[in-house]
Structure formats: structure tokens, C-alpha cells
Amino acid sequence: MTAFQPTNPVLRTLFDAGADFGPLDRDANPHQRCAGLLALARLGADDAALTDMAAQQDAGLQPAPDVAPWPAGDPWTDGLGKAQAWAPYRDLMGQWLFYEDAGDVLRQTLPRLLQGCAGRGFAGLIRSAYAVQAQHRQELVDALAFWASSHLALAPAPVVRPAAPASADPEPALRRLHAATVSGRGVDKALQALACETAFAQAVAMLVPDGSMVRRLSALAAKAYAASGTPLAAQLLISTQAMDVLLPFVDEDALADARRDYWRAFAALVCVAGLRDAPPPEPRSWRAILLRVRECRDPRAVCLVDSCRTLEKSCGTDPVWRQAATRALWA
């Protein structure tokens, strides 16, 4: 992976402009500006629509903080999970990606980053995957810096026996999970509390992660989002497509741990996602969905439709992908 620039010159210019912004919007939520732009372009939007989305997003973002150098000689992992470390991580990742190929940087960082992929609802994971697909160096710098500074390392899993016989099917394990109350402590605190619970560990231990895990989770996440439409359910679904993009950069000897770390984070997010069992919407045709999404300026909704479209091509034409896309655009 050596090329870094999108081929569409308008999209390239809009990505270049992303360097002016920090990782959060004015409400202190992580933004997916460039992810939304790339997704919208892949779904067939014209240059005017891309420019319009960028203008709407940019109006609500915080400017990039002042440049802050990474402390010379400090291990790259020293700032993990420290929100104030985004600017130093930006400096570090910029240097790293200047001297080394992006694929090599990803192979070195992903195993550790995936240990904390649940932070801010998979936002760092998702942004990084879209940056890889965009082949834009500065966006990858900023995405990896955000993932590192929002890293959420869950407590080590208690040593337990599975609640039921272990298998490669995640659905029985997910059905064992209970909804967790987020309240005023925030999602990340709720996830950390879950990681220490014996019942949660027993459910998680029911899955044997393998090469089919991410695709299986994709379909289940699509069903969950089609039924509930909650923002975290959307993040669950988009994250599975992001994992499809990033896992090829994980070396074989680290792959099993990477899958386990993602599975544990995914299960924890399920508990706090506010899922509900409701009838999914009647699926619209892809033609109707694509016409509608090109008018959409919500990056999360656009990324969700993009993920559904991509996953359907690799997982099969189950109506669940169109149901989830319909929920995102019409619900």
C-alpha cells in the first residue's frame, strides 16, 4: 500500500482540507467527515453533493489543536487512551507514515490498537478503515492518532467456563448478553464495567473466533440495526465492514488475538447499544436507496448504507442489508 491520494480531484481536495480540523465536532463527539465523503462518492454522488456535505460538516467541527511534538524516544503506546494526546500522536503518526509504508505501519500498530477498539463506539476503527480505503496519508495519520488517543483497553477477561458449549456461531453468545445501563457514567465507563462481569465473560467465551466471525457478526448487526435504528447499532454494523478492510494487515501470528479483541468489544457494545426487538422496515429497492442516500448529508447514515451495499456483495443478497439501509434513510 504505497499510493495515498483519491483519484477524484474534488474528493482529494476535500480530504486535504480535513487537515484543518481536530477529531471532534463542536459537541465533543467524534466526526466521520472523510469517511462520509468517501462513502457518498462510492454510492454515486456527484461532486456538488460531496462539496455540499463537506461544507455542512466543516461548519460543525473544531479546528485542529496546535502542533505538539511526540516526546523523543517514548514508546508509541505511552499515550494510548489519553484524549489530550491526539496532537502528539498526529506528529508521531505523520513521521511514521513519512518514513514507512502504510501497510507496514498498520501491521505494527493494529494488534495493539484492536485491544482498545471499543473506545467512542468504534469511531477510531471505522475512521482508520475508511482512511485506508481512501488512500490518503494525512487522513490516515489523523485517524490513527484519534484511535490511539481514544483507545479503550478493557480489563482482562475473568477466567471462566463458557455459559454453554463453545462454537463458531456468535448468535447464541449474543443472546446470552444482558442490556447494560449507561446512565450518567457514559458508554466507555459502562463497557469497562461489563468487562469485569462474570456473566459477560461466560457469554463471550461461548464463541470460538474464526475466519467467518466478522461476516457472521455483520449479518447479525444488520438485523439489530434494522430492528432498532440506534446509533450504536449503526456503529456495530459499520465496524464489521471496517474489520474486513483492516484484518488483512494483521500478521497471521496476531490474527487470533485480533479477532478475540474485536469480538469482546463488539459484545460489550451490544450490551449498551439500546437494541430492541421490533419489526424491520419493508426494504426499499437499491435503486430507491441509492437515489435517496445521494441526498443525505449524515456521515453515519451514508457510511451505514455504504457498508450494507459492500457487505451484500460479499455476504449474499439477504434482504437484511436493504432493511438496514432503509431504516437509516427513512426511519
Every domain of the chain and the residues it spans = 9-149
| Maximum pairwise Cα distance, the chain | 57
291 vs 67: CA distance, rounded Å: 41
Closest CA to 32 of 239, 183, 208: 239
pLDDT at residue 4, rounded to an integer: 44
E strands present in the chain: 21-25, 61-63
Reduced 3-state DSSP string for 256-299: HHHHHHHHHHHHHHHHHCCCCCCCCCCCCCHHHHHHHHCCCCCH
Q: Which of 157-166, 181-190, 194-203, 314-323 has the lowest mean pLDDT?
A: 181-190
Determine if residue 28 is left, alpha or beta; phi over 0 gives left, psi from -120 to 50 gives alpha, anything else beta.
left
- What DSSP string describes 60-75? TEEEPPPP-PPPTT--
**In this structure, is the dihedral angle defined by the CA atoms of residues 313, 319, 324 and 326, taken in order, positive or negative?**
positive
Closest CA to 128 of 43, 35, 36, 234: 35
Residues in the chain: 331
300 vs 31: CA distance, rounded Å: 9
Residue 253 DSSP SS3: helix
Q: Up-side HSE of residue 242: CA atoms within 13 Å toward CB? A: 28
Closest CA to 264 of 209, 218, 322, 320: 209
| For the chain, counts of helices (H) and of strands (E) | 16, 2
188 vs 194: CA distance, rounded Å: 10
| CA 262 vs CA 51, 121, 183, 205: distances in Å | 34, 12, 24, 13
pLDDT at residue 67, rounded to an integer: 95
161 vs 316: CA distance, rounded Å: 34
Whether 2 has a pLDDT exceeding 60, the answer reads no
Cell reading at 331: 426511519
Counting residues of the chain whose pLDDT is more than 70, the rounded percentage is: 98
Per the DSSP assignment, residues forming a β-bridge with 30 are 24
| Across 144-162, average pLDDT | 94
| Across 253-282, average pLDDT | 95
106 vs 108: CA distance, rounded Å: 5
pLDDT at residue 3, rounded to an integer: 40
Chain center to CA of 203: 23
pLDDT at residue 246, rounded to an integer: 98
Q: pLDDT band for 180, please (50, 70, 90 cuts).
A: confident
Q: Which of 6-15, 181-190, 209-218, 285-294 has the lowest mean pLDDT?
A: 181-190
Residue 38 DSSP SS3: helix
Question: What's the pTM?
Answer: 0.96
pLDDT at residue 6, rounded to an integer: 59
